[in-house]
Structure 1
Amino acid sequence: MSESTVREKSQEQVKVCVQKQRAYFNEGHTKPLATRVRHLEKLLRLLREHKPQIIEALRQDLNKSETEVYLTEIGLLIEEIRFTMKHLERWAKPKKVKTVKTHIGSKGYRIPEPYGVTLVVSPWNYPIQLALAPLIGALAAGNTVILKPSELTPACSHLLATLINDHFEEGLLYVIEGGVDTSQYLLKERFDYIFFTGSVGVGKIVMEAASKYLTPVTLELGGKSPCIVHKDADLKLAAKRIAQGKLTNAGQTCIAPDYLLLHEDIKSDFIAEYKRIVTSFYGEQPLKNEAYAKVVNERHFQRVKSYLDDGRIIFGGQVDERLEKIEPTLIEPSSEEVPIMREEIFGPVLPVLTYRNIDEVIERVNGGEKPLALYLFTKSSEVEEQIVNNISYGGGCINDTLMHIATPYLPFGGVGESGMGAYHGESSFSTFSHYKSVLKQTTLFDFSFRYPNAKNGLAILKRLFG
């Protein structure tokens, strides 16, 4: 199956699917906590039992190695499901809150309840992980889910449809395959929540469609994520962790370092170390290394390849048209206005810039859109505080890359043009839950001052709030 052979769903088929889920939810099937846990257990079992098929589908679509599949797809999902099942009972309990002095005798609660019928639209770069990770939170919170995977990774899309649609009731969880037309039909329907991961441009389309029904959304987008290496950094460790963060999935990661900001004193030493590390990872000829991933398709390959003309190649720069692979590359951009400095790269090409002091870095990053991720390598707590306290970004790491996404204790999400909302761990449950406020008032006594005919009511109110 290829992108061009994806069969679109008709508008009527999409409508019927949404109607089935609406009926299923309204009948109360998703509410019991034990039922939600069973759904998560089934999902966990499917992941474990079908690892070979998942590995093969990811090899077909992206040439991912088995090691990378475990690290970035299967392993993250298994840990997320385990964590959710362990804590779900506590998350789902009504939360008692304090009341003010005018509410003596009453009790306040925040009660999490599912939104209802939800839509999850997932991208192609991590086609298993980014499809199922939000789905975990949606099921845990008691929603039904329609999942629309990307048509750009057809093997993974078809595998998800086969596994899920064969093992879950359509009213609870259903995968709809298709391309642009199918996505447009879905966005015409009324959902209770929409979770989208993808580009800024499509994110705006999703938000516009959601506004028709005032449907709440989570948008996980992207942007140009800076990676700052200060003069006091451990360069060997920094080069290793930056290379791993940039070259995983051939750079097709929304939180990959998008450009380097190197202190000018360590530029040459860092570049030498980066070259050494890349060679140790993938050998002298990375394009021939089976563990090195490909660019997803011809269109994206040509897009990333075009960035090689945007400056002076420091390292790498070779391509293989047949395999759709591009070498790990360092490039000095010819100006700030070339495409590689204006667009999210989503490939293994890394621009190199320099700075003299941290104020320059802060001014430069704050001069653009708020990034999804930021990485800083330094031994200085003062530099760390300067960066963290003066730059707004979705999330990131000090002295590492990517790893903040791998802990369920940290919410993951963007800010500004890099997205809105967050998920992972309890944040996934919260994202797919509406917290209903309930005040249970006493009937043992009543305060007369609250009523318009109260004697001395105004005087009492003035004493209370004066």
Structure 2
Amino acid sequence: METSSVSPQPLGSAAMKAPEEESDGGGGKESMDGDAASRNPYAGLVNHLRTSWLSRKTWPMQYRVAQLEALGRFLEEKEEEILEATTLDMGKPHFETQLSEIFVCRSELNHTLNNLSTWMKDEHVEKNWAMQLDSAFIRKDPYGVVLIIGPWNYPINLLLVPLIGAIAAGNCVVVKPSEVSKNAERLMAETLPKYLDKDCFAVVTAGVEGTTRLLENKFDYIFYTGSPSVGRVVMTAAAKHLTPVTLELGGKNPCYVSDSCDVRNVARRVAWGRFFNAGQTCVAPDYVLCSLETREQLLPALREAIAEFYGPNPQESSSFARIIGDGQFQRVRALLSSGRVAMGGQTDAGTRYIAPTVLVDVQQDDPVMKEEIFGPILPILTVKSVDDAIAFINARERPLAIYVFSSCKQVVNQVLERTSSGGFCGNDTLMHFTLTSLPFGGIGQSGLGHYHGRFTFDTFSHLRATVLRGNGREALNKPRYPPYEPRHLPLLRSATQQRRHRSCALL
């Protein structure tokens, strides 16, 4: 990744570029006050947003709705620019951009606007006997000034969906698009600030060093989408200020195909999920596990599906994307040395093209099985049974998603019950990501926290426990005051202790 070296714009500007890095940049200190703050190029911006947040400007529902509606106008009025930017960055077909970037954002936005008034309401809770005359509820407060760092593979969706939730929850926000998807980054920096309140929302463009300096500042919440290695860096920076984080990472998502399935349907759905966006999708099926017999049926079905989707020469297809950059191209191309190429394998460095490729005879210690592929390569490994597949999955880091194909519900449920992953989808790929009613996120190596729909609002909200008691009835409080008298304990136990219900079907 490259680092921008343009001087920052004035404080009032909502878009800010990384300044020239000092020789000691990226070190960080325990706090950002005094001289340390004055040397940090983003301290003024963060302080300005914090002043806006403390003024409570972002708190009223009407303000949040107005900013969300402005974000909707951005998606509508800049649709052609979004399509052009993603095509320039990775040759992404307009259809895929519409489906995975614009449609998803609009769905998230509409769902949030439809439900925001309900989400913001105080949530009243169950009370014990001692507090029956009092009010106890959960207040949904915004965190404050939050930072959202987006990735390059879905530069609109994976930046704006968290932003929608952060705005809905009443926060001030700094968004940092990925510098790898240069055209999308430029679009966000130049146009998004024209739609949002510049006193409360800012776009920062920066590379590695600039982002490191940005992370030195005290934020109230950090939301990062990207690789596990950078996720550790973000979490380390957040720990200095005890800042809570959500980390949306990746991983090697297994796809088990049982012997009882419609092989042609499996091939189409797996090929679509693996080769969508040229495989540069964090929830794409990363490898297939199946028996040798099923593999021999699946291979011709995959060949047929690839030809149906992209024609006899996918390089000429307008429906197939390209690898984002030269470095990523070289990394993915090197993975073709694993196993044996059963179909595909063609590459073109000039256009960063790698054909939809299926690998067989792959070994567990091959390079393609040691890292997230993030490219149009699908390894197939053979296992003897569903038990072997489950053991294979459980011997590795918990993935972002697990996919299972089987005509037998028992097989699907068996994998669901005996494995652990961020998400799970039976008899399809990717589709669980599209539901705003489901939480999306990883577990362990694949991430921390979740979002989408109500879950995004909750992620960016502090659930504030609140009790409002009356000033009177002091006689009722006397049993808990010193000097303590043992005879008061039975009364206090009855008044404050939660009792267990006696009807338990398992006992």
Structure 2 length-normalised TM: 0.89
Query: Aligned to 1:140, which of 168, 182, 185?
Result: 168
- Equivalent in the alignment of 2:422: 394
Query: Aligned to 2:454, which of 426, 431, 435?
Result: 426
- Equivalent in the alignment of 1:266: 294
Distance 2:332 2:325 in 1: 11
Distance 1:440 1:331 in 2: 64
- Compute the displacement of 1:214 (Å): 0.4
Distance 1:63 1:136 in 2: 27
Q: Is 2:40 aligned against 1:9?
A: no
- Compute the displacement of 1:334 (Å): 4.1
How big is the alpha-carbon RMSD for the aligned residues of Structure 1 and Structure 2?
1.6
For the Cα contact (< 8 Å) 1:287–1:319, is it kept in 2? no
For the Cα contact (< 8 Å) 2:67–2:197, is it kept in 1? no
- Equivalent in the alignment of 2:482: 452
* Residue 450 to residue 51, structure 1, CA distance change in 2 (3 Å): same
- Compute the displacement of 1:385 (Å): 1.6
For the Cα contact (< 8 Å) 2:257–2:406, is it kept in 1? yes
Question: What pairs up with 1:283-432 in 2 under 5 angstroms?
Answer: 283-432=311-460
Please list the CA deviations of residues 68-99 of structure 1 after superposition, one character each: whole Å capped at 9, or x if unmatched.
11111001001110000000000000000011
- Compute the displacement of 1:151 (Å): 0.6
Structure 1 unaligned regions, length at least 5:
none
- Compute the displacement of 1:459 (Å): 4.5
- Compute the displacement of 1:263 (Å): 2.8
For the Cα contact (< 8 Å) 2:71–2:196, is it kept in 1? no
- Compute the displacement of 1:4 (Å): 7.0
Query: Tell me, what secondary structure is at the counterpart of 1:112?
Result: strand
Q: Which amino acid aligns with 2:169?
A: A
Distance 2:439 2:132 in 1: 36
- Equivalent in the alignment of 1:79: 107
Distance 1:251 1:61 in 2: 15
Query: Tell me, what secondary structure is at the counterpart of 2:463?
Result: strand
Distance 1:20 1:358 in 2: 56
For the Cα contact (< 8 Å) 2:363–2:381, is it kept in 1? no
Q: Is 2:58 aligned against 1:30?
A: yes
Question: What pairs up with 1:194-213 in 2 under 5 angstroms?
Answer: 194-213=222-241
- Equivalent in the alignment of 2:211: 183
For the Cα contact (< 8 Å) 2:403–2:429, is it kept in 1? yes
* Residue 6 to residue 167, structure 1, CA distance change in 2 (3 Å): farther
Q: Which amino acid aligns with 1:286?
A: P
Query: Aligned to 1:21, which of 24, 49, 52?
Result: 49
Q: Which amino acid aligns with 1:89?
A: S
Q: Which amino acid aligns with 2:478?
A: S
Q: Which amino acid aligns with 2:395?
A: G
Q: Which amino acid aligns with 1:343?
A: E
For the Cα contact (< 8 Å) 2:442–2:450, is it kept in 1? yes
Distance 1:330 1:197 in 2: 28
Query: Tell me, what secondary structure is at the counterpart of 2:278?
Result: helix
Query: Tell me, what secondary structure is at the counterpart of 1:292?
Result: coil
Distance 1:198 1:256 in 2: 14
- Compute the displacement of 1:364 (Å): 0.6
Question: Which range moved further: 415-424 or 262-271?
Answer: 262-271
* Residue 459 to residue 282, structure 1, CA distance change in 2 (3 Å): closer
Query: Aligned to 1:149, which of 151, 162, 177?
Result: 177
- Compute the displacement of 1:463 (Å): 6.1
Q: Which amino acid aligns with 1:141?
A: A
Query: Aligned to 1:215, which of 216, 220, 243?
Result: 243
Distance 1:407 1:376 in 2: 18
Q: Is 2:304 aligned against 1:276?
A: yes
Distance 2:408 2:139 in 1: 44
Please list the CA deviations of residues 385-420 of structure 1 after superposition, one character each: whole Å capped at 9, or x if unmatched.
211111000002111100111110001000000001
For the Cα contact (< 8 Å) 1:164–1:173, is it kept in 2? no
Query: Tell me, what secondary structure is at the counterpart of 2:205?
Result: coil
Q: Which amino acid aligns with 1:325?
A: Y
* Residue 312 to residue 459, structure 1, CA distance change in 2 (3 Å): closer
- Compute the displacement of 1:454 (Å): 5.9
- Compute the displacement of 1:166 (Å): 2.3
Question: Which range moved further: 5-14 or 447-456?
Answer: 5-14
Distance 1:415 1:16 in 2: 35
Query: Tell me, what secondary structure is at the counterpart of 2:42?
Result: helix
Please list the CA deviations of residues 261-281 of structure 1 after superposition, one character each: whole Å capped at 9, or x if unmatched.
123332111111111000010
Q: Which amino acid aligns with 1:263?
A: S
Structure 2 unaligned regions, length at least 5:
7-16, 20-38, 500-507
Question: Which range moved further: 95-104 or 78-87?
Answer: 95-104
Please list the CA deviations of residues 217-265 of structure 1 after superposition, one character each: whole Å capped at 9, or x if unmatched.
0000000000111111121111111111011110000000000012333
Distance 1:320 1:290 in 2: 16
Query: Tell me, what secondary structure is at the counterpart of 2:288?
Result: strand
Question: Which range moved further: 201-210 or 446-455?
Answer: 446-455
Distance 1:5 1:17 in 2: 18
Structure 1 length-normalised TM: 0.97
- Equivalent in the alignment of 1:63: 91
Kindly tell me the number of residue pairs found equivalent between the two proteins. Answer: 465
For the Cα contact (< 8 Å) 2:136–2:468, is it kept in 1? yes
For the Cα contact (< 8 Å) 2:310–2:319, is it kept in 1? yes
Q: Which amino acid aligns with 2:279?
A: G
